[in-house]
Amino acid sequence: MSLSVLIVDDEMLARSRLRTLLGDCKSPAVRVDGEAANATQAIELLRRQRFDVTLLDIHMPGADGLTLAQTLRTLPQAPAVVFVTAHAEYAVNAFELEAVDYLTKPVRLERLQLALQKIERLTQSAKGLEPEMPEEVLIIQERGRTERVPLSEVLYFKAELKYVTVRTAAKSYILDGSLSELEEKYASQFMRIHRNALVDRRAVRALEKHFDADEGEGWAVRLNGLDELLSVSRRQLSAVREAIAAN
């Protein structure tokens, strides 16, 4: 999504500078869909189209920015307001009008981005959307090399002596840790199928009869993307059947 922005400032150079800063914003994405030099022009634009955010100066000819912000609160789909002004003394009044932020000129790109990110979170929450979370990764340190492995690519964890094997469709890694810690941390994604193994619930393709040299006849799971079979203990058998049925 991108935020639709209305710039309201009586100074053309100030509007131009804000437009340039908005063009430099990397996150969130923004579109400058309107500019106004006073409150009257701003109200006319707001009656014709919807904006997500208004960047609003305070000192303007006619109705000032505080008066305009008060009017905006009466609109059915009022934009979020960020005051952009050279006067710091109006901050209390601005926040009484439920402004999202109050930026003083000259505006820094970093502060503008923070204000817009706050509005993006509010907009997503209002629409019932969850903000995107950064992808979880495992930090693997192996043979003098550090590698980031996305958790979404991991098919299983298997305890091997003092280490844990981390298996993706493409490669195996060695992780210094315990299976119990991994099970507790990633319980929503991985389930225990044996005392020595956790598998990604979504990767389980089939449950098959299997003969193991150590444990004799039993059951094993086959995972998407792997030919290898993983033994299932009798204790975990019913949980694995339930997981397959739920997939």
143 pLDDT above the threshold of 90: no
The answer to whether 9 and 15 are in contact (CB under 8 A) is yes
Give pLDDT tens digits for 226-240: 889 999 999 999 888
Short-list 72, 78, 80, CA closest to 99: 80
Do the domains 2-126 and 137-246 sit in the same CATH topology, yes or no? no
CATH number for the region 137-246 comes to: 2.40.50.1020
Query: Of 71-85, 116-130, 202-216, which has the strongest mean pLDDT?
Result: 71-85
What's the pLDDT at 76? 80
Tokens standing for residue 5: 């922005």
The answer to whether 111 and 82 are in contact (CB under 8 A) is no
pLDDT category of residue 134 using cuts at 50, 70 and 90: low
The answer to whether 83 and 72 are in contact (CB under 8 A) is no
What pTM did the predictor assign?
Answer: 0.53
Q: Which of the listed CATH numbers 3.40.50.1000, 3.40.50.2300, 3.40.50.970, 1.10.10.10 matches domain 2-126?
A: 3.40.50.2300
CA distances from 99 to 46, 50, 157 (A): 17, 18, 49
Short-list 60, 110, 114, CA closest to 85: 60
> How crowded is residue 197: how many other Cβ atoms within 10 Å of its Cβ?
23
Q: How do the residues of the chain divide into helix, strand and coil, expressed in percent and rounded to 5?
A: 35, 35, 30
Domains of the chain, by residue range, sit at: 2-126, 137-246
What's the pLDDT at 139? 85
What's the pLDDT at 190? 94
pLDDT category of residue 1 using cuts at 50, 70 and 90: low
Give pLDDT tens digits for 152-179: 999 999 998 889 999 999 899 999 889 9
Residue scoring higher pLDDT (99 or 247): 99
